[in-house]
Amino acid sequence: MGQRKVVLILAAAFLLGTASVTVQGAERKPNIVLIYADDLGWGDVGFNGRREWATPNLDALASRGTRFTRFYTAAVVCAPSRAAMLTGKYTIHNGVSRNNDDLPSSEVTIAEALKREGYTTALFGKWHHGKPRTAAASEKSKKHTGATSYVHPMDQGFDEFFGFTDATHAWEKFPESLWNGRQRVSVTGYADDLFTAHAVDFLKRNRDRSFFLYVPFIATHFHVEAPEEEIALHRGKLPEKDPAEPVNATYAALVTRLDKSVGRIIRTIDELGLSDNTLVVFTSDHGATFEQGNRGASNALDSNHPFRGQKRTLWEGGVRVPALVCWPGHVPAGRVSCEVMHMTDLFPTLLAAAGAVPDPAWKVDGLDVLPAWTGKSAVPARTLFWEWRSEGLDQLAALRGDLKLVITRGGRAELYDVVKDPAERRDLAPQYPDVVQDLNAALQSWLKTEVQP
């Protein structure tokens, strides 16, 4: 065989091989990374205006993607907000309206949906369970663990799990034990650092396959505790009620340590050459809390600025959360969007990014807003709803466009233009009784769709 012919054959083989790799690469579904903060206020991050401390990694991620200024959670406490995000369904439709409700095993999570599309899935952080609603759910968990009586994350689509299963311990910043899969193991260190290490390891092990990585951190939830070296960066730089107990500096440390954890995950994605094919979402489960466990930090530091309210309320401070999406080549970089997004939209939108749609039998409430993420079209007009009917703090709310109806305990109706008046100081209900009546009618119709367990 002549030398020229050999060269041509080798060249053809090389080109065919390259083409094969290209085709395979094009067929690979995008990786999806969902990073979830806990009790983080809209105003706690630099990309939303925080200046008392820096969040350079989150800010850089926002500059590489699009940040959403009107991104709403679906509930104002931990379990309902997470259940709504994982199922794409309102609280009244997925069985989790209270903090001690357990997600029914019959509900399909985004992890289960993505596994059907060939994804490897993992959860490192907080899985918030409550009490099982059915004996079947309890028996399902006992079969795997021999002890617990709730639905485990590995029963609902996650191949790997490391973290907290229940709310009772999910405020421990320096836990002595955590769940690794279905086994309780001893641990040492700062919880969010441990979750980050597991996330980084997962990324390295799964670089050659499509994955869904869900990292629900516990910062800044409840106990205001952080690594001492992180607190030292803020000590003396913030006003304190008692300088000997730097609560505000410690809260700042919670946020900046969270930012560093996000940075480690994103750097790993970059170093593995996965950036262009990885969709990253960052948000918080609901607004910051001013409750006793927070020791006044979020209140003193105005974590929900410029909004009124907090966790467990349906004013903007409770329901509007920081959010960004980064997906190079798909989601525009450096863009700020005022489109109204909702936590239930994540399920159908992430599934759309994977090239799939929810099964109609799942009855997902959220919308596929991928066209809005990519800048191709606007989110369709709709009315969003909230309910918080637990712990004696009853509120209902409905949002349509810029106008939001809030019905407080006792039935008082308040109406706000949350664009012109984001602090919800000027009640428009007396001027627009027809709007109040219309939104209230829609709200009551929505409540009638509640699915009873």
Q: Where in the sequence numbering do the catalytic residues fall? A: 78, 128
Q: Within 10 Å of residue 55's Cβ, how many Cβ atoms?
A: 23
The tokens for 175 are 């836990």
Q: Strand 403-407 and strand 395-400: pairing?
A: antiparallel
| 383-388 β-sheet, strand order | 383-388, 395-400, 403-407, 413-417
**Residue 349 and residue 251: Cα distance in Å, rounded?**
33
**What is the helix (H) or strand (E) element at residue 265, kind and residue range?**
helix 247-271
Q: Is there a contact between 85 and 347 (Cβ–Cβ < 8 Å)?
A: yes
* Sign of the torsion formed by the C-alpha atoms of 135, 366, 74 and 373: positive
Helix (H, G, I), strand (E, B) or coil at 330: coil
**Partner residues linked to 120 by β-bridges:** 211
DSSP state letters, 371-394: HHHTTSSPPPP-EEEEEE-STT--
Angle (deg, nearest 10), helices 191-205 and 247-271: 10
**Residue 397 and residue 98: Cα distance in Å, rounded?**
16
**Residue 207 and residue 214: Cα distance in Å, rounded?**
16
**Partner residues linked to 336 by β-bridges:** 67
What b/e string do you get for 301-324 counting C-beta neighbours within 10 Å, with b at 16 or more?
A: bbbbbebbbbbbbbbbbbbbbbbb
Q: How far is CA 33 from CA 80, 258, 298, 366, in A?
A: 21, 15, 27, 19
The tokens for 393 are 């703090």
**Residue 120 and residue 73: Cα distance in Å, rounded?**
26
